[in-house]
Amino acid sequence: MSVPVTILCGGLGAGKTTLLSQLLEEDDRDIAVLVNDVGEVNVDADLVEARTDLETGDEVVALENGCICCSLGGELSRSVIQLWKEHDFDSLVVEASGVGEPEPIARQFVRGPAGGPYDLDAVVTVADARLFYDTFVDGDEKPVRQGPDESGSRPIADLLLEQVEFCDLLVLNKCDLVSEAERDRVVAVLETLQPRADIVTTEYGSVRPDELLESERFDLEAARESAGWKRAVEASADHEAGDSLHDHGDSGDGESGDEHRNHGDGESGDGENHDHGDGESHDHGDDDHTHPPERYGIDVTTFARTRPFHPRRLREFLEDVPDGLVRAKGLCWIAGRERAAITMSYAGTETTLEVTGRWIASFSEQRQEAYRRGQPDMPWDEEWGDREVRLALIGRNLDQVALESRLEDCLLTDSEMAENWDDYENETPTAMGESTTISSGSAADRSNP
Ligand SMILES: Nc1nc2c(ncn2[C@@H]2O[C@H](COP(=O)(O)OP(=O)(O)OP(=O)(O)O)[C@@H](O)[C@H]2O)c(=O)[nH]1
């Protein structure tokens, strides 16, 4: 029997990982998860893994490539087919990166080699209620795509619309950040944009598992009529419109993913191999041969240093996040918190700093050695061990040099490295699970220990 697949998409920082972590915690089914992050820092995989009881973490697979659309033909299919061969599980959830377009991923499970062992169950889009309201619900008119600007890149708002249009279930998250009236207006707009989808409103991704798994929401016939799928199918090079989209070609044995490199170009339905030989992808189903991040003018960089942030300067930075920064996430070492590995997550206007683990260097020598034997590739500083700052920064029209220099200024100086860091005023959390939220644009913060 085919394994049902739920594809989870939604804007950067809308709450996909939060929702997924809850689902894994609450549901008894064996769920395999495939996550895809933008940039080099695979935060989502680490976060999801940390919150599951999986001993090996084998069932959480990270696509390292950073661009799910480029890895579609090769890595995505290969990963899910390998997963299916090696593990026994009831459901698969694919978390697309926040800049991923859902359609090429979904298409893999309907037409591509992964369509053999798997069966697309639902495409779920998580939307940020606050952001959606601020972006689209100003006037009475239905939001429309803006298309590329003079620089050729499309506004991120277009991607949000794409993700809304192309789904079976809409999860309107972050409803704590809008009033009831604002929420109702967002729901009304979403209903006009995607009449076929069910809508649930939530805070912190709290959705009943049955809404997400084996809900059988995906209906091929209905989907064919919907705008997003119509475009997907029309974009396909397959002219046999009357054929069943469930043409799995040679995929039934689960082997074909190794050879398929169909780049999500819509040609996979014919069951032939389309190896362009160079291992590069050229086409993502659109006419422009660009990756979604490029198409939306999104830049991704990594800021990695083996030096801690000064707690006050970091806070001041987070209260005044530069324009153009869309999303930041990763691990922070904050001076005075030598045990706590703190995950930073900035999305919308808020940054959460949450203790999600301990630095290995804060354990006894014996345990340090045991951990390090298990992870021989882990970078290790003679003095500070694994403590580090490692952030993925996602921006649009962002002055990267200025951003890097501002972050650099938040790190301890050479002379501060010699100070007693416990003397610093420091409101960052200390114990596992504790978090602090800092709002950009205001000096006030809310702490939830
Ligand atoms: N206020 C508020 N914050 C939320 C809610 N849900 C999630 N968050 C916070 O929003 C931030 C982003 O959440 P994630 O779950 O990491 O978002 P994501 O969609 O996985 O992000 P990407 O993978 O980068 O696209 C985190 O700091 C969450 O704690 C919510 O309902 N309300």
- As to burial, measured by CB atoms within 10 angstroms (0-12 exposed, 13-18 middle, 19+ buried), residue 255 is middle
- For 170, the token pair is 């809409």
What is the per-residue pLDDT for 74? 60
The pLDDT profile of the chain, 449 residues, written as one tens digit per residue, is 789 999 998 888 899 989 988 888 888 888 888 876 544 444 455 544 444 433 333 355 555 444 444 445 566 777 788 888 888 888 999 888 766 667 778 877 877 778 889 999 999 999 999 988 888 876 656 677 777 777 666 677 777 887 888 888 999 999 999 999 999 999 988 888 888 889 999 999 999 999 999 998 887 666 666 655 555 544 443 333 333 333 333 333 333 333 222 223 333 333 333 333 333 333 344 444 456 566 666 777 889 999 999 999 999 999 999 988 888 888 899 999 999 999 998 988 889 999 988 898 998 899 888 888 888 888 899 899 999 998 888 887 788 899 999 999 999 999 999 999 999 999 999 998 899 999 987 544 444 44
Residues 6+ apart with CB under 8 A from 217: 121, 122, 168, 169, 198
- Please name which of 145, 135, 185 lies closest in space to residue 165, comparing C-alpha atoms: 145
Give residue 312's pLDDT. Answer: 97
Give residue 272's pLDDT.
32
Ligand 1 atom closest to the CA of 437, numbered from 1: 27
As beta bridge partners, residue 7 has 94, 123
Output the CA 17–ligand 1 centroid distance in Å.
Answer: 7
Gap between the Cα atoms of 308 and 335, Å rounded: 5
Q: Whose CA is nearest to atom 7 of ligand 1?
A: 15
CB burial of residue 74 (10 Å; 0-12, 13-18, 19+): buried
**Cβ distance 68 to 96 under 8 Å?**
yes
Ligand 1 mean position, distance from CA 190 (Å): 20
CA 74 to centroid of ligand 1, rounded, Å: 29
Q: Count the neighbouring beta carbons within 10 Å of the beta carbon of residue 209.
A: 18
Q: Can you give the pLDDT at residue 271? A: 33
Closest residue by Cα to residue 98 from 29, 201, 32, 173: 173
| Cα 447 from Cα 363, distance rounded (Å) | 27
Contacts of 380 (CB under 8 A, 6+ apart): 372, 386
Residue 351 alpha carbon, nearest atom of ligand 1: 27
Domains of the chain by start residue, with CATH: 3-293 (3.40.50.300), 297-448 (3.30.1220.10)
Q: Separation of 45 CA from ligand 1 center, angstroms?
A: 14
Ligand 1 probe mutation, 17, 186, 393, most atoms within 8 A of CB: 17
CA 158/CA 305 separation, integer angstroms: 34
Ligand 1 midpoint to CA 347 (Å): 7
Q: Measuring from atom 9 of ligand 1, which residue has the nearest CA?
A: 15
By CB atoms closer than 10 A (0-12, 13-18, 19+), residue 240 is: exposed
Q: Whose CA is nearest to atom 14 of ligand 1?
A: 15
**Per-residue pLDDT at 77:** 77
Show the ligand 1 pocket: residues with CB < 6 angstroms.
10, 12-18, 44, 98, 173-174, 176-177, 203-205, 327, 329, 345, 347, 352
Cα of 318 from ligand 1 centre, angstroms = 16
Instruction: Please answer whether residues 388 and 333 qualify as being in contact, where contact means their C-beta atoms are separated by less than 8 angstroms.
Output: yes
Cα dihedral angle (107, 110, 114, 116), rounded to 10 degrees?
-170
Pick the closest to residue 331 from 358, 350, 313 (CA basis): 358
- Centre of ligand 1 to C-alpha 75, Å, is 26
Tell me whether strands 435-439 and 340-347 are parallel, antiparallel or unpaired: unpaired
Which pLDDT does position 218 carry in this prediction? 86
What is the residue with the minimal CA distance to atom 21 of ligand 1? 13
Give me ligand 1 centre to Cα 345, in Å: 8
To test the pocket of ligand 1, the residue of 18, 33, 126, 179 to mutate (highest count of ligand atoms within 8 Å of its CB) is 18
State the ipTM, two decimals.
Answer: 0.98
Q: Measured in angstroms, how far is the CA atom of residue 48 from the centroid of ligand 1? A: 13
Cα 204 to ligand 1 centroid, rounded to whole Å: 7
Q: Which among 8, 345, 434 is the best mutation to test ligand 1's pocket, defined by most ligand atoms within 8 Å of the CB?
A: 345
Are the C-beta atoms of 448 and 435 separated by less than 8 Å?
yes
Residue with the smallest CA separation from ligand 1 atom 6 is 204
Q: Which residues lie below 8 Å from residue 89, measured CB to CB, with a gap of 6+?
A: 3, 29, 30, 31, 32, 59, 83
Cα separation, 51 vs 336, whole angstroms: 25
Residue recorded with tokens 């869309």: 326
Query: Residue 226's pLDDT is what?
Result: 63
Residue nearest to atom 32 of ligand 1 (CA): 174
The residue with tokens 């630095």 is: 359
Cα-trace Rg, the chain: 22
Ligand 1 atom closest to 21 (CA)? 15
349 CA from centroid of ligand 1 (Å): 11
